[in-house]
């Protein structure tokens, strides 16, 4: 794949783990901070950031930060990690010189209060009185939202150069962390915009690839998983280093006819976090609105002004709530190319969510920068005026979590409210006349004795969770545990075997206690999300959530764990940092070869290494035994050789899997695998699901290259590929059909972009592209479709039909959302794991389902195998599902013969944002199985 000229060159490698040196302070502190000694942006950049038709890139931004750090005694510059392309992520720590001289002291106070463990109220009060409020304000997360980075330059300069009483008070009371989230994206977008000399031709909507190396906009959906380097770096600062009380995440663009969305947010909010988070969030949000209005800056809106809510944990500002911090999101209009504030009649009438309407007008980036300055000042001013209360409150929320996790406690969920209402229907009247109750404002009240419905003993919250160390896929367990640790969760490991209740757990088992400050996050990662039945109006259609509704990470990753409802103790040690993969071993002394379980995801990495080394690898249809150890269907057999021994010796050590050396080749049918050439299909501008798969393929060392529509259209695909993978959304779907339709983005003309990107242009079409894909399969190729791209099955005439749809003759349409709506949730599916496509997967598996297609076999179907399907009326495990009973009997994963080749249809998103480790094997198996059975 060609790279853009602004990418870093040789020697820049992706680093997820930060060394001590990576956090070093890089510039000495300069002289007195005043306007005479601080270089203004007008002198440091080619044009003043915030000017029309100009964007500063990250290289210039970085140079300016270093200049400021050398001139100001109000700032320290911190390197807090490398981006995916190897650039440095910088954080400007801004405060008074006196505070900067005691940074470690104030960081320690912030940590003690946030973690709350072993801290009395009296001790906390003293620390809160002494400490400084810490506020995180970032920029650039979504790189095409350019104002946040350009505005941060101006905000930094003003905070370092102004000497008015308010600024000095803020600097005395607050430590501000001005951080950049996405250096690579800023460099790409700014340089792409500035490539034209004619300012009127400048734009960045035609960038050829995602503005984060792998996942683009989804870099703000990675917060609880921390897969991307940048997310890992940010989370370390937020939840393991600084513990800010306020986390301000700046975005674009604002609602139509307005300037900026500012909190508070609409409901629903997640029931797991402390209510003080929400009340504090509303305080800060209204302080921002008030300052905008006081400065005659109209056009702000809250709540109903936009769709943003506080339900989903995966975003940078929303993960804050599960860590007792105030997470702020703003979405503002503006860009380097002037735009127009639209006239929307209804928005000209003020209300509680839109206090000060704005007139239609031409809008310039410089205006947006001034709004950004006002909102930044409002947040810092709030932190200054409420310094001690912010510090006290984050302690109180942490202490509340520890207390709740230390005793029987109950979380009220929508399902429990439904149970209470049902109980009230069946109960005798409370004795008050209904008309009188309504008159006195007591309508809806029920017998107080029914409160016990909300506190059934069996429905109490867990005191903790135990992850046994004897489960099949321990490397995936390690990945899950590290995701928790990266977000500041305290995790313990058993130093010896122990017993809780009637169950004995082996040494090495992980224990996650609920009695910790970040209890809300712990519950959200282990417990199902119970999203409310949120309708546009009573009896109406569902109100679309801002993002997904069910995402329980332990479910997605296939982690086996126990919920412990009573208090318990175990011999454990606290894990001080990320857990390295524990080395596996070669067991046995046989000389014929090795047996390896198919149940661990890392067996695919080892298989890829062996095939790359030219070593034979087989799948055993009926499994095998080695002494007392049994291996299920698909057990991996590797005949002995010196080369294979070297690969396996390294693999068991660094991948954390075991190999069993046996003295004879196992009996039974063995499928020989082949080295494969994988084509991962992508489109100009970049597909986020494809980007996640690209990252996934790199982690598991799958041999692949990215292929674009023009190459598919050219045909003769078998010349270059054995497998083609179409991620969700890559094959477009028409509006109104049974497949979720994505947004179509216009492509630039070839003459308007550099020649190296011309091969990336083009679109996947039914009449030109898909026939070539069908021919590829018919001639022995393997095609894998995920999510809505599974529409391919119906286009090429496979003997299946969409299961949940309206049929009118030959026309097939999707059901209305009122009839069927499952927006990003976790469902339970059945699996036939004796089929090669499902080797290593349990018979019951949690799958991620986001308005995904499922299928029924036609009556005349041949050459089709059902691999995974839904067998209940209520498959929902976590999230929200309207009409879920319609899925019963339908198939999510299919193995279809197409001529000499294979089509593997995977309706659910089996690699959802690279989080669903429990279903990766569907894809991994398909990439190896299809070519192995292709007919010559």
Q: Identify the helix (H) or strand (E) that includes residue 332.
A: strand 326-332
Q: Tell me what pLDDT residue 429 has.
A: 59
Residue 280 above 60 pLDDT? yes
∠ CA(184), CA(188), CA(190), 5° rounding? 115
Q: Give Cα 561 to chain centroid, integer Å.
A: 22
The answer to whether the peptide bond before residue 268 is cis (omega within 30 degrees of 0) is yes
Residue 9 above 60 pLDDT? no
Q: Tell me what pLDDT residue 433 has.
A: 58
Q: Which residue has the tokens 């270089």?
A: 39
Q: Give the range among 28-42, 267-281, 914-928 with minimum mean pLDDT.
A: 28-42
Measure Cα distances from 854 to 254, 787, 895, 921 in Å: 36, 9, 13, 19
Q: Do the beta carbons of residue 49 and residue 179 sit within 8 Å? A: no
25: phi then psi, degrees, rounded to nearest 5: -75, 130
- As beta bridge partners, residue 135 has 176, 246
Residue 40's CB is within 10 A of a number of other CB atoms, namely 13
522-544 average pLDDT score: 97
Q: Do the beta carbons of residue 788 and residue 740 sit within 8 Å? A: yes
288-296 average pLDDT score: 99
Q: Which of 884, 837, 887 is nearest to 865 (CA)?
A: 837
Q: Tell me what pLDDT residue 442 has.
A: 60
Distance CA 252, CA 333 (A): 6
- Which CATH fold would you assign to the domain 678-933? Rossmann fold (3.40.50)
On the CB side of 159, how many CA atoms lie within 13 Å of its CA? 32
Distance CA 523, CA 847 (A): 20
Distance CA 445, CA 87 (A): 59
Distance CA 100, CA 569 (A): 42
Q: Tell me what pLDDT residue 809 has.
A: 84
> Is the alpha carbon torsion for 118, 123, 129, 131 positive or negative?
negative
> Is the alpha carbon torsion for 176, 181, 187, 190 positive or negative?
negative
- What would the pLDDT profile of 136-190 be if each residue is shown by its tens digit? 999 999 999 999 999 999 999 999 999 999 999 999 999 999 999 999 999 999 9
593: phi then psi, degrees, rounded to nearest 5: 160, -165
Measure Cα distances from 447 to 421, 424, 450, 452 in Å: 11, 7, 6, 11
∠ CA(359), CA(360), CA(366), 5° rounding? 95
- DSSP output for 229-287: HHHHHHHHIIIIII--SEEEEEE--PPTTSSEE-SPPPSPB-TTS-HHHHHHHHHHHHH
Q: What percent of the chain has pLDDT over 70?
A: 94
Distance CA 821, CA 248 (A): 33
Q: Which of 484, 636, 652, 610 is nearest to 554 (CA)?
A: 484
Structure tokens of 327? 């997470």
Q: 762 in helix, strand or coil? A: coil
Q: Which of 823, 828, 906 is nearest to 268 (CA)?
A: 823
Where does the pLDDT of residue 409 fall: very low under 50, low under 70, confident under 90, or very high at 90 and above? very high
Q: Do the beta carbons of residue 777 and residue 903 sit within 8 Å? A: yes
Where does the pLDDT of residue 1 fall: very low under 50, low under 70, confident under 90, or very high at 90 and above? very low
Q: 485 in helix, strand or coil? A: helix
Structure tokens of 136? 């995180």
DSSP, res 748: P
Where does the pLDDT of residue 342 fall: very low under 50, low under 70, confident under 90, or very high at 90 and above? very high
Q: Tell me what pLDDT residue 810 has.
A: 83
Whole-number average pLDDT of the chain: 95
Residue 64 above 60 pLDDT? yes
Q: Identify the helix (H) or strand (E) that includes residue 301.
A: strand 300-301
Q: Tell me what pLDDT residue 439 has.
A: 57
Distance CA 659, CA 670 (A): 18
Q: Do the beta carbons of residue 573 and residue 489 sit within 8 Å? A: no
263: phi then psi, degrees, rounded to nearest 5: -55, 160
Q: Do the beta carbons of residue 372 and residue 148 sit within 8 Å? A: yes
Where does the pLDDT of residue 599 fall: very low under 50, low under 70, confident under 90, or very high at 90 and above? very high
Q: Tell me what pLDDT residue 436 has.
A: 57
Q: Where are the domains of the chain?
A: 68-402, 410-449, 460-574, 586-672, 678-933
Burial 477-516 (b: 16+ CB within 10 A, else e): bbbbbbbbbbbbbbbbbbeeebebeeeebeebbbbbbbbb
Residue 211's contacts (CB-CB under 8 Å, 6 or more residues apart) are 142, 143, 144, 182, 184, 185, 188, 189, 217
Q: Do the beta carbons of residue 548 and residue 825 sit within 8 Å? A: yes
Q: Which of 126, 98, 100 is nearest to 112 (CA)?
A: 126
- In 3-state terms, the chain is what percent helix, strand and coil (to 5)? 35, 20, 45
Q: Which of 607, 49, 681, 107 is nearest to 373 (CA)?
A: 49
Measure Cα distances from 220 to 181, 212, 224, 578 in Å: 10, 10, 10, 22
Pick left, alpha or beta for residue 676 (phi over 0 → left; psi -120 to 50 → alpha; otherwise beta). beta
Where does the pLDDT of residue 36 fall: very low under 50, low under 70, confident under 90, or very high at 90 and above? low
- What would the pLDDT profile of 638-679 be if each residue is shown by its tens digit? 999 999 999 999 999 999 999 999 999 999 999 999 999 999
Q: Do the beta carbons of residue 743 and residue 198 sit within 8 Å? A: no
346: phi then psi, degrees, rounded to nearest 5: -65, -25
307-328 average pLDDT score: 98
Q: Tell me what pLDDT residue 30 has.
A: 38
Q: Tell me what pLDDT residue 444 has.
A: 82
Where does the pLDDT of residue 924 fall: very low under 50, low under 70, confident under 90, or very high at 90 and above? very high
Q: Tell me what pLDDT residue 736 has.
A: 87
Say if residue 72 is exposed, middle or buried (CB neighbours under 10 Å; 0-12, 13-18, 19+): buried
Q: Tell me what pLDDT residue 849 has.
A: 98
Q: Tell me what pLDDT residue 20 has.
A: 37
Q: Look at the chain and count its residues.
A: 936
Structure tokens of 510? 């992980």
Q: Identify the helix (H) or strand (E) that includes residue 869.
A: strand 864-869
Where does the pLDDT of residue 435 fall: very low under 50, low under 70, confident under 90, or very high at 90 and above? low
Q: Do the beta carbons of residue 445 and residue 430 sit within 8 Å? A: yes
pTM for the whole structure: 0.95
Q: Tell me what pLDDT residue 19 has.
A: 36
Residue 28 above 50 pLDDT? no
∠ CA(625), CA(629), CA(634), 5° rounding? 55
Q: Identify the helix (H) or strand (E) that includes residue 921.
A: helix 920-933
∠ CA(843), CA(848), CA(851), 5° rounding? 125
DSSP, res 670: E
Distance CA 212, CA 482 (A): 22
Q: Which residue has the tokens 């735009």?
A: 339
Residue 294's contacts (CB-CB under 8 Å, 6 or more residues apart) are none
Q: Which CATH superfamily is domain 68-402 in?
A: Zn peptidases (3.40.630.10)
725-745 average pLDDT score: 90
Q: Tell me what pLDDT residue 23 has.
A: 40
Q: Which of 564, 553, 557 is nearest to 498 (CA)?
A: 564
Residue 915 above 80 pLDDT? yes
Q: Tell me what pLDDT residue 14 has.
A: 33
Residue 85's contacts (CB-CB under 8 Å, 6 or more residues apart) are 7, 8, 12, 14, 183, 184, 213
Q: Do the beta carbons of residue 931 and residue 722 sit within 8 Å? A: yes
Q: Which of 57, 98, 303 is nearest to 187 (CA)?
A: 57
Residue 125 above 70 pLDDT? yes
514-542 average pLDDT score: 98
∠ CA(38), CA(44), CA(49), 5° rounding? 105
Distance CA 249, CA 181 (A): 10
């Amino acid at each position: 794949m060609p790279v853009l000229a602004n990418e870093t060159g040789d020697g820049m490698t992706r680093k997820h783990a930060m060394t001590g040196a990576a956090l070093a302070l890089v510039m000495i502190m300069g002289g007195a901070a005043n306007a005479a000694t601080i270089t203004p942006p007008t002198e440091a950049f080619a044009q003043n950031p915030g000017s029309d038709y100009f964007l500063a890139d990250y290289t210039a931004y970085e140079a300016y930060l270093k200049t400021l750090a050398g001139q100001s005694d109000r700032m320290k510059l911190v390197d807090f990690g490398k981006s995916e392309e190897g650039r440095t992520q910088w954080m400007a720590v801004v405060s008074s010189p006196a505070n900067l001289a005691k940074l470690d002291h104030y960081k320690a106070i912030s940590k003690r209060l946030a973690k709350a463990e072993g801290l009395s109220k009296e001790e906390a009060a003293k620390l809160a009185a002494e400490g400084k409020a810490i506020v995180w304000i970032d920029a650039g997360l979504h790189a095409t939202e350019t104002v946040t980075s350009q505005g941060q330059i101006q905000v930094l300069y003003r905070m370092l150069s102004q000497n008015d009483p308010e600024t000095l008070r803020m600097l005395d009371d607050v430590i501000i962390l001005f951080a950049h989230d996405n250096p690579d994206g800023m460099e790409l977008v700014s340089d792409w915009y500035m490539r034209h000399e004619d300012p009127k031709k400048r734009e960045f909507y035609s960038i050829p690839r995602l503005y984060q190396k792998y996942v683009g906009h989804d870099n703000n959906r990675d917060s609880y998983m921390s897969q991307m380097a940048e997310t890992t770096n940010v989370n370390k600062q937020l939840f393991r280093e600084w513990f800010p009380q306020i986390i301000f995440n700046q975005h674009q663009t604002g609602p139509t006819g307005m300037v900026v969305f500012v909190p508070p947010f609409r409901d629903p909010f997640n029931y797991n976090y402390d209510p003080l988070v929400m009340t504090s969030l509303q305080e800060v949000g209204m302080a921002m609105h008030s300052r905008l209005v006081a400065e005659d800056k109209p056009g702000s809106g809250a709540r109903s002004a936009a769709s943003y809510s506080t339900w989903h944990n995966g975003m940078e500002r929303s993960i804050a709530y599960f860590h007792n911090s105030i997470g702020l999101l703003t979405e503002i209009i503006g860009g380097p190319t002037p735009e127009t504030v639209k006239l929307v009649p209804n928005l000209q009438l003020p209300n509680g969510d839109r206090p000060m309407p704005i007139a239609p007008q031409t809008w310039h980036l410089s205006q947006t920068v001034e709004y950004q300055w006002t909102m930044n000042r409002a947040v810092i001013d709030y932190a200054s005026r409420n310094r001690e209360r912010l510090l006290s409150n984050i302690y109180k929320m942490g202490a509340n979590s520890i207390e709740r996790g230390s005793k029987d406690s109950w979380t009220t969920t929508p399902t429990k409210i439904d149970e209470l209402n049902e109980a009230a229907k069946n109960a005798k009247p409370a004795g008050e006349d209904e008309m009188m109750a309504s008159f006195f404002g007591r309508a809806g009240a029920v017998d107080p004795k029914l409160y016990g419905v909300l506190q059934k003993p069996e429905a109490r919250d867990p005191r903790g969770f135990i992850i046994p160390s004897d489960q099949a896929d321990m490397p995936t367990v390690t990945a899950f545990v590290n995701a928790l640790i990266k977000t500041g969760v305290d995790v313990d490991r058993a130093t010896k075997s122990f017993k809780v209740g009637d169950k004995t757990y082996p040494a090495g088992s992980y224990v996650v206690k609920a009695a910790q400050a970040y209890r809300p996050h712990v519950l959200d990662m282990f417990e199902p999300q119970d999203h409310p039945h949120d309708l546009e109006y009573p009896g109406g259609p569902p109100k679309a959530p801002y993002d997904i509704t069910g995402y329980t990470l332990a479910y997605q990753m296939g982690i086996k764990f126990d919920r412990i409802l009573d208090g318990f103790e175990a011999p454990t040690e606290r894990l001080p940092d990320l857990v390295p993969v524990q080395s596996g071993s070669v067991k046995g002394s046989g000389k014929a070869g090795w047996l390896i379980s198919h149940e661990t995801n890392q067996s695919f990495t080892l298989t890829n290494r062996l095939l790359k080394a030219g070593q034979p690898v087989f799948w055993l249809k009926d499994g095998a035994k080695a002494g007392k150890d049994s291996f299920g269907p698909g057990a991996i057999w590797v005949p002995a050789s010196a080369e294979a021994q070297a690969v396996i010796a390294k693999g068991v050590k660094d991948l954390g899997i075991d190999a069993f050396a046996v003295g004879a080749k196992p009996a039974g049918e063995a499928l020989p695998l082949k080295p494969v050439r994988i084509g991962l299909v992508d489109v100009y501008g970049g597909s986020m699901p494809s980007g996640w798969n690209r990252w996934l393929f790199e982690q598991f060392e799958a041999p692949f290259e990215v292929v674009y529509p023009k190459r598919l259209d050219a045909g003769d695909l078998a010349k270059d590929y054995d497998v083609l993978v179409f991620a969700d959304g890559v094959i477009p779907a028409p509006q109104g059909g049974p497949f979720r339709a994505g947004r179509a983005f216009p492509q630039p003309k070839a003459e308007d972009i550099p020649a190296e990107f011309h091969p990336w242009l083009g679109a996947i079409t039914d009449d030109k592209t898909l026939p070539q894909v069908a021919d590829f399969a018919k001639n022995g190729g393997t095609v894998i479709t995920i999510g809505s791209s599974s529409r391919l099955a119906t286009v090429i005439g496979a003997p299946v039909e969409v299961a949940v749809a309206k049929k009118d003759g030959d026309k097939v349409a999707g059901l209305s959302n009122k009839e069927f709506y499952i927006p990003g949730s976790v469902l339970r599916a059945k699996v036939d794991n004796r089929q090669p496509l499902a080797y290593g997967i349990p018979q019951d598996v949690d799958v991620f389902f986001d308005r995904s297609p499922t299928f029924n076999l036609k009556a005349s179907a041949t050459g089709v195998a059902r691999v995974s399907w839904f067998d209940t009326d209520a498959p929902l495990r976590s999230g929200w599902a309207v009409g879920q009973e319609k899925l019963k009997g339908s198939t999510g994963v299919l193995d279809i013969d197409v001529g000499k080749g294979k089509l593997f249809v995977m309706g659910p998103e089996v690699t959802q944002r690279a989080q669903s480790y429990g279903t990766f094997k569907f894809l991994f198996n398909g990439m190896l199985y299809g070519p192995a059975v292709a007919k010559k």
